[in-house]
């Protein structure tokens, strides 16, 4: 079932979302300062490509204060707007019964878009 969900997700917008994340990741990696943010955007791209069957969870161990500082910077630089976009799409998909699984995936992406540092995709 997750394979079918991933294929439908990919055809109806998942590929475009993942491509958008990859383009923004490459743009962020142009500078040395932007490389950590670009890597986190690649994490979002991977999840945006195949969201069904994957889970986002905190990394084992103590993430440390650097992860918290990077999440705060990320929130103000772009994380808020990315999460807001996923939230809007999640609400729109949630209006129909067929779209509820896709809405849940958008909500999962919104949570990762807010605080990607210190989390891993399993």
15-28 vs 35-49: helix crossing angle, rounded to 10: 170
Residue that the structure tokens 């630089």 belong to? 77
Contact 87, 81 (CB under 8 A): no
Q: Which pLDDT band, with edges at 50, 70 and 90, does 16 fall under? A: confident
pLDDT at 1 over 80: no
Per the listing, tokens 């204060």 go with 65
| pLDDT exceeds 80 at position 119 | yes
Q: Are 28 and 34 in contact (CB under 8 A)?
A: yes
Digit-coded pLDDT (tens) for 73-111: 989 988 898 899 899 999 999 999 999 999 999 999 999
- Residue 122 has a pLDDT of 87
Whole-prediction pTM: 0.87
φ and ψ of 87, to 5 deg: -65, -45
Spatial contact of 76 and 117, defined as CB atoms under 8 Å apart: no
pLDDT interval class at 13 (50, 70, 90): confident
Q: How many CB atoms sit inside 10 A of residue 44's CB?
A: 24
- pLDDT tens string 26-76: 988 998 889 999 998 898 899 999 999 998 888 888 878 888 999 999 899
CA-only gyration radius of the chain, Å? 14
What number is the average pLDDT over the span 104-119?
91
């Amino acid at each position: 079932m997750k394979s079918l969900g991933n294929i439908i997700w990919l055809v109806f917008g998942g590929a475009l979302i993942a491509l958008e994340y990859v383009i923004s990741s490459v743009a962020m990696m142009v500078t040395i300062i932007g490389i950590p943010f670009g890597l986190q955007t690649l994490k979002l791209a991977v999840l945006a490509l195949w969201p069904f069957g994957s889970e986002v969870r905190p990394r084992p161990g103590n993430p440390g204060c650097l992860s918290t500082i990077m999440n705060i910077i990320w929130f103000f630089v772009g994380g808020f707007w990315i999460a807001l976009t996923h939230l809007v799409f999640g609400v729109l998909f949630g209006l129909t019964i067929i779209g509820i699984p896709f809405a849940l995936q958008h909500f999962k992406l919104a949570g990762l878009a807010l605080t990607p540092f210190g989390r891993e995709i399993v």
